[in-house]
């Protein structure tokens, strides 16, 4: 008897494709193999993916590889040719063209002049006013969430799973807000053990069932840093925020994790224009 495929079944199949892509970004990814992972016809699976995910599988792989490459350029001394090779580009020229298209700047220029460089300079100069920070009170928020362990740069993997799980339940808010919550210091905890959660605030009562969990974001006083640029540059932003702005602010951090609110969709907005609000919980004044 022919099994009837449901919307949820197709989402589960595409989640398997996403899992495979994230695990093999530095390998040669065969589209026929992805069809097998999805258990869908090689003739149709990629069009189904595009229709349900909002971007082609080629665009997904390219975006994720370039995002990882930007992280290496900003946060390591790895030679650009090796960065290109890890991103599966056959030459630095083709890598450079693709990187410029996504980031608006060449790989070498990004390493020398990207947003991370500005934060490093402000940190070195102890410039407390170099970037926009506001102190404000935020409401408590109840979120559906999925946990992630590993590189913070890969939290969008959990974001994708969360989005599709809620879509399968017909529970996505009209204008979903994606939030990342981060529990560990990447300078102290090995990358493979870093803990984070992808969260989406709920605007109405929604049954939160496995693999989803309910996460409550603490309300109250927060410092908010407005960051614009590739996610790869945010490590330097954190170091300035916590190492320069906070000690000079007169505030103390509260015992709750930092969270990031993502204001743009990286599938639609160029990397250098992505806006993120970084929220640091603060103790209330005595």
Q: What is the pTM of this model?
A: 0.87
pLDDT, position 98: 95
**Domain boundaries along the sequence of the chain:** 7-111, 133-281
Give the residue from 79, 39, 84, 80 showing the smallest Cα distance to 65.
84
pLDDT, position 220: 94
Query: Can you tell me the mean pLDDT for 186-208?
Result: 86
Give the chain's largest Cα–Cα span: 71
Report the C-alpha gap between 257 and 273 in whole angstroms: 26
Q: Token pair for residue 169?
A: 């339940």
212: which strand partners? none
Q: Are 156 and 18 in contact (CB under 8 A)?
A: no
The domain 133-281 is placed in CATH, from the list 3.40.50.880, 3.20.80.10, 3.50.50.60, 3.30.1780.10, at: 3.20.80.10
Report the C-alpha gap between 161 and 159 in whole angstroms: 5
Query: Can you tell me the mean pLDDT for 25-29?
Result: 92
pLDDT, one tens digit per residue, over 98-112 is 999 999 999 999 999
Q: Give the rounded distance of the alpha carbon of 5 from its chain centre.
A: 31
* The CATH number of domain 7-111 is 2.10.109.10: no
Report the C-alpha gap between 209 and 145 in whole angstroms: 10
Query: Can you tell me the mean pLDDT for 110-130?
Result: 92
């Amino acid at each position: 008897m022919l099994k009837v495929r449901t919307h949820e079944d197709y989402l589960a199949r595409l989640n398997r494709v996403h899992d495979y892509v994230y695990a093999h970004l530095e390998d040669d990814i065969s589209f026929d193999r992805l069809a097998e992972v999805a258990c869908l016809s090689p003739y149709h699976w990629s069009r189904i993916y595009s229709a349900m995910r909002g971007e082609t599988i080629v665009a997904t792989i390219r975006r994720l590889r370039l995002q990882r490459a930007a992280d290496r350029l900003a946060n390591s001394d790895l030679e650009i040719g090796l960065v290109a090779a890890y991103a599966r580009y056959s030459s630095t020229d083709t890598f450079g063209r693709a990187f410029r298209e996504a980031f608006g700047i060449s790989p070498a220029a990004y390493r020398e002049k990207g947003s991370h460089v500005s934060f490093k300079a402000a940190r070195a100069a102890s410039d407390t006013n170099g970037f926009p920070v506001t102190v404000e009170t935020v409401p408590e928020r109840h979120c559906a969430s999925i946990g992630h362990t590993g590189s913070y740069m890969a939290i969008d993997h959990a974001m994708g799973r969360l989005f599709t799980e809620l879509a399968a339940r017909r529970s996505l808010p009209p204008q979903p807000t994606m939030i990342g919550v981060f529990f560990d210091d990447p300078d102290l905890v090995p990358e493979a053990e870093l803990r984070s959660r992808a969260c989406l605030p709920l605007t109405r009562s929604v049954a939160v069932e496995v693999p989803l969990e309910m996460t409550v974001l603490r309300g109250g006083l927060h410092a908010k840093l407005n960051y614009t640029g590739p996610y790869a540059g945010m490590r330097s932003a954190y170091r300035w925020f916590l190492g320069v702005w906070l000690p000079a602010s007169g505030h103390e951090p509260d015992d709750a994790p930092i969270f990031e609110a993502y204001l743009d969709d990286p599938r639609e907005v160029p990397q250098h224009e992505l806006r993120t609000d970084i929220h640091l919980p603060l103790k209330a004044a005595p």
